[in-house]
Amino acid sequence: MLTQFYHHLLRKYHIAFGSLFKQITLVRNDTTDSNGVEMQRFVVPIEYAPRETWVARLRDDPQIKQQFSTVLPRLAYEMTAMRYDPSRRLNSLNTRVRPIPGDSTNARRYFVGVPYVLVFSLYAITRSIEDANQIMEQVIPYFAPDYTLLVKLFPSIGILDRMRIVMDGNPQWLDTWEGDGFTKTRDVLLTFNFNVAATFYGPIAGTSASLIRKVIVDMYDSSYDASLTDHSYLLTNTYDHLLREDMSGVLLTEEDASSIGDIARVVRIEVVPDPLNAIPVKPVNTTTTITEYSDGRVTNVYVGHDTDIGV
């Protein structure tokens, strides 16, 4: 809990969301229908709305001589809230393993992320309905009602997440033409609200995990198969008792191992990477070896090697 870490995840989500709208382009033709000749084309500026007042002043009007009110059209966006998303919750004890680039012996292991919904608002302000129409038509077709981006939240580690962006409710259209039109400049304000599926992760860096480089599966052929293939059965480290536990590890039964003395593996399947020191980045080639046995041995899950059970 006290380990310092900061993945810049919120910043990345802010950038990724804003990026969707960074190239909205307006074209003004000399006629109101689609047959007109293009007269102007420009990209609509977008910015993250909240800001320091003094920075805004210094950037907008450094010489204190701004000769007008503002320049339209403009886009702005901000994250207005965030809330836990129980619908995407995973078992918090689950971990994922990602390779360390260039390291063929270790990998990083991290707990699955904590799901949150980030609430974003996108605002557009224009001087005319025509401009507002163009912006509206360039935004809404992409959200039906969702649009999903594939984001590399940790580019150096390679963690990929799907950033699902869902338009929340209907866009709002506010035209200020009524009332103060003769004293204040009319503008058209569009507001879009979005829910963005985000995932947050705890510390990752510096944690290494040994890689599984060999998988061994022993197959049996006896009435005790269930005892040896069901994960709830364990052979004691002295291989003289067979234990059966429930999911939480509570002992349910304990039997003398002699009861399984008449069984032994008959087939072993081994899978190893090719080459053996392959860097764990997809795709990894593997070599599978299938061996038939009649040696009366089993694999002891505690000590990790074959054990003669005296068959």
Partner 1 sequence: MPTNPYMNWWSDKNEQLLLHELMTEAIQFHGLDVYYLPRIMRREDSLYSEDVLSQFVSIFPIEVYLKNVAGWDGQGNFLNKFGLNIEHTFTVMVSTDRFNEIVPSARMVGGRVSGSSSSTELSGIGTNFGDALRVGEQIMTQTTRQIRTVMSVANNERLTMNAAFDTAVVSEFYVIVPPPNPFPIPSRPMEGDWIYIPLPIDKMFEIKFVENEKAPGQFYPLGTKTFYELSLETFTYSHEEVRTGDPAVDFVETEHAYSQDLVVSLGGSGDYILGETVYQGATAEAPAATGVVALWDANNTVLRITDITGVFANAIPVIGMTSLASRGLGVEVCPLLIPTDLLNDNRYLADADDEFLDTREGDPFKDPFLGGSARC
Interface ranges with partner 1 (CB under 8 A): 12, 15-16, 18-20, 22-23, 25, 28-32, 37-43, 45-49, 51, 53, 56-57, 59-61, 65-74, 76, 78, 123, 125-131, 142, 147, 149-153, 155, 160, 181-185, 187
Q: Do residues 124 and 73 make contact, with C-beta atoms less than 8 angstroms apart?
A: yes
- Amino acid identity at 97: V
Q: Which of the 8 DSSP states describes residue 240?
A: S
CA atoms of 244 and 227, how far apart (whole Å): 8
Q: Which residue, 108 or 297, is less far from partner 1 as judged by CB?
A: 108
CA atoms of 88 and 50, how far apart (whole Å): 29
Report the nearest approach of partner 1 to the CB of residue 278 (Å).
22
Report the nearest approach of partner 1 to the CB of residue 171 (Å).
16
Alpha helices in 204-257 (DSSP H): 225-229
Q: Which residue, 46 or 264, is less far from partner 1 as judged by CB?
A: 46
Q: Which residue, 27 or 212, is less far from partner 1 as judged by CB?
A: 27
Report the nearest approach of partner 1 to the CB of residue 52 (Å).
9
Report the nearest approach of partner 1 to the CB of residue 224 (Å).
48
- Determine phi and psi for 137, rounding to 5 degrees: -75, -15
Give me the count of residues in the chain.
311
Report the nearest approach of partner 1 to the CB of residue 158 (Å).
10
Report the nearest approach of partner 1 to the CB of residue 204 (Å).
15
- Residues with Cβ within 8 Å of residue 229, at least 6 apart in sequence: 220
Strands (DSSP E) along 137-292, which ranges? 146-154, 159-167, 172-175, 188-200, 209-210, 215-220, 233-235, 241-245, 251-256, 265-274, 285-292
Q: Which residue, 36 or 169, is less far from partner 1 as judged by CB?
A: 36
Report the nearest approach of partner 1 to the CB of residue 37 (Å).
6
CA atoms of 208 and 100, how far apart (whole Å): 9
Report the nearest approach of partner 1 to the CB of residue 106 (Å).
24
Q: Which residue, 100 or 125, is less far from partner 1 as judged by CB?
A: 125
Shortest CA distance to 123 belongs to which of 52, 72, 163, 165?
72
Q: Which residue, 147 or 224, is less far from partner 1 as judged by CB?
A: 147
- Amino acid identity at 283: P
Which token pair is 53? 């007042």
- Determine phi and psi for 129, rounding to 5 degrees: -65, -40
Q: Which residue, 176 or 300, is less far from partner 1 as judged by CB?
A: 176
Q: Which residue, 104 or 176, is less far from partner 1 as judged by CB?
A: 176
CA atoms of 251 and 274, how far apart (whole Å): 40
Which token pair is 222? 């006896």
- Amino acid identity at 96: R
